[in-house]
Amino acid sequence: MDTIITAADGHRLSTYMAGSDDADRALVIVQEIFGVNDHMRYVADAFAREGYCVIVPALFDRAERDVELGYGPDDIDRGLRLRAEIGEDKTLLDILAAAGALPSGIPRGIVGYCWGGTVAWQAATRSTAFKAASGWYGGGIAAAKAEVPNCPVQLHFGEKDGSIPMAHVEAIQAARPEVEVFVYPGAGHGFGCEARGSYLPKEAYLAQTRTLDFFAKHL
């Protein structure tokens, strides 16, 4: 379901919502650099089947509306350009607006992938809107490792991720020992996305199981 929400600065953005308003737990799901595409709707629907009320904000709306990209080289370049047009402070406003659009009175978590993994980290460290945060292969987390989360955080990385060296993962672990970090042997960037060539079903299932267990514990 597409719903329009309004951020604190007056920006209006579209969202994809799934799940029941009667759910016991809620999630903000944060997109990769490919927009709210079929994969992100697939992810949202999967969490909804697990009993969550979920919302996926269209973060690219600040740069260009209705962006849905594939996973080819041109798509990657376009996604990176769009992301570069949007400041971190504006993205956080949109995340907080999404959190506010979820049913009140139930615990809220946040989970993000790729760019969204970094955004989930920022939401955990720069706001108090969430009870738990999970980030999958967030490339910007190492640069923000000194920031202190305001809620429990779980992170997932691929051992062979060409854009996130293991040295970065180790630096995160050293700086934030309170954060649960999982590394998946042989996995590359985007190993959890069924639409990408790097998809690894076994590792994706394990990461999803750990994410669900994590949220069940903290939400």
| Choice among 39, 168, 189, 218 that is catalytic | 189
Any idea which residue has 């998809």 for tokens? 199
The reply to whether 161 belongs to the active site is yes
Whole-angstrom distance, CA of residue 95 vs CA of residue 29: 9
| Choice among 161, 168, 193, 218 that is catalytic | 161
The reply to whether 114 belongs to the active site is yes
Determine whether 126 is exposed, middle or buried from the number of CB atoms within 10 Å of its CB (0-12, 13-18, 19+).
Answer: middle
| Choice among 39, 61, 94, 114 that is catalytic | 114
> Sheet containing 12-18: which strands, arranged edge to edge?
2-6, 12-18, 52-57, 25-30, 108-113, 132-136, 153-158, 180-184
- The residues that are catalytic are 114, 161, 189
